[in-house]
Amino acid sequence: MPHEPIQIKHPEPLAELFRLLVSGRHLNRAADAALWVALERNQADYGALFEALGFALHVDGRGFAFFDSEEGSAQLTQNSRKLALLFLVLFDTQADAGQALGRFEDWLIDRELLEHACEQHQEILQAEGMDADGLAEVLGIAVRYGFARSEGGGWRLLPAVCRYLDHFEALAAECRAEQGEDDDFEAEDDPRGGANEEE
């Protein structure tokens, strides 16, 4: 296929978008509406340009985008591990509280919730040397990477957290498959909250 020069119609948000994504941050429709729309409207062009620069742009219709880097830096891996722990603990706590996991964007994660989560997961958190303060710190990291934003004395999770949720659900499904259970996964709310009518 012959190379055509890539022409970008809206360079201004592009630079901002690139800066955001290249820092390892996730773009969220819910948090950066304008950038998201710019991306949505120029996805093909931007994607091609980023690819030419050596970045794989991944856009998820549920409202987030990121650069899919195969091998993250040690720092990233470290943080990713912490984030995974945070989200795992949060999801588990909320599931126990009867919350639909797919609606994580609705949760206000405040100090109280963090402490409750700590109580419930003392063992695993202690093994990691983590407490409520530690979790709050990790939420700071989550903010930095576009998984959460501070709001009204707490945090709210952003759509990018789907990445972790997908992962947890896949793991759960695998477990169930191994145990040969007839999974009742369908009963759970579809995180994409869509019109999932069967015909």
Partner 1 sequence: MEYGFQYLALIGSANYDRAILPLHAPVSLIGENNKGKTSLINALQFMLIIDQRRMNFGAHSLERSKQFYFPANTSYILLEALLPQTGVVVLGCVGKGVSHDYEYFAYTGALDLEDFRLPNGAVVPQPRLVEHLAARGHSVFRYTPGEFRDLVYGSGRRRRAGEPEFGVFRLEHASDAKAYQQVLTRTLRLDRLTSDEVKSYLLEIFRRDLPDADIDFKREWDKAFAEVHADRAQYQAALKQRADIEQMARMHDERLMLRGKVTAWRPAIDAALEEWESHYTRERQQLIERGEQIEKAQAQLLEDDRARVGRRSELEAERKRLDAEQEEQAALERRFALIDDRRMLETAVAEAGKVLERHLARLAQAEGYALADLERERADYQTRLQKLEQRLQNLDDNLERRLQQTLPPEVGAKLAMLLCEDALAAGPARFELDSAALGRWLQDMPPPRLRLPGLDLDVSALTPRPPPQTAEALHRERARQRRRLRELDEQIEIARGHEAALRQKQALEQARRDAEQALEDYDRLLALRAGSSQRAARQAEIGQELAQIQEALDGARSQSDRLRQEAARNDRARNELDAAHERIGRLREARADRDPVFEYLPELPARPWLEPLAITPERLADALQTYQEDCRRLLELNRRLEEHLTLLHAGGLSKFQYAESPEEEIRHIIAFSQQLDKEAEALEKKARSAVVTVTAGLRELRDGLGSFQSRLREFNKLIGLRKLSDLDTFRIEAVAQTRLVEAIDVLINTAERVDSGDSFSLFDQASVLDDAAVDRARRILIEEGEARQGLKVSDLFRLEFVIGRKGERPENFADLDSAASNGTVLMAKLITGLAMLYQMQNKNHRIRAVAYLDEALALDRANQRSLIAVAEKFGFSLIFASPAPLDTVRYCVPIQRVGGRNHISSQGWQELEPLQVEQGAAS
Q: Residues in the site for partner 1, rule: CB under 8 A?
A: 2, 29-30, 33-34, 36-37, 43-44, 59-61, 63, 105, 192-197, 199
Q: How far is the CB of 56 from partner 1 (least distance, A)?
A: 13
Shorter beta-carbon distance to partner 1: residue 105 or 188: 105
Tell the smallest beta-carbon distance from residue 96 to partner 1 (Å): 23
- For partner 1, the closer of residues 119 and 183 by Cβ is 183
The CA distance from 7 to 190, in Å, is: 38
63-81 as b/e: b if 16+ CB within 10 A: bbbbbeeeeeeeeeeebbe
Q: Which is nearer to partner 1, 60 or 110 (CB)?
A: 60
Most distant CA pair in the chain, distance: 60
Among 69, 74, 119, which residue's Cα sits nearest to residue 93? Answer: 119
Residue 125 or residue 165: which is nearer to partner 1 going by CB? Answer: 165
Q: Least CB distance from residue 64 to partner 1, whole Å? A: 12
Q: 105-129 in b/e burial notation, b at 16+ Cβ within 10 A?
A: bebebeeebbebbbeebeeebeeee
Nearer to partner 1, 57 or 118 (CB): 57
Minimal CA–CA distance to 159: which of 191, 184, 133? 191
Question: In which residue are the tokens 């720092």 written?
Answer: 75
Q: How far is the CB of 126 from partner 1 (least distance, A)?
A: 36
Q: What are phi and psi of 197, to 5 degrees?
A: -60, 135
Alpha-carbon separation of residue 161 from 50, 76, 144, 145, 148 (angstroms): 23, 16, 13, 10, 8
Is the Cβ of residue 47 or residue 134 nearer to partner 1 in the bound state? 47
Question: How far is it, in rounded angstroms, from Cα 131 to Cα 117?
Answer: 9
Minimum CB distance to partner 1, residue 124 (Å)? 31
CB of 82 to partner 1, least distance (A): 27
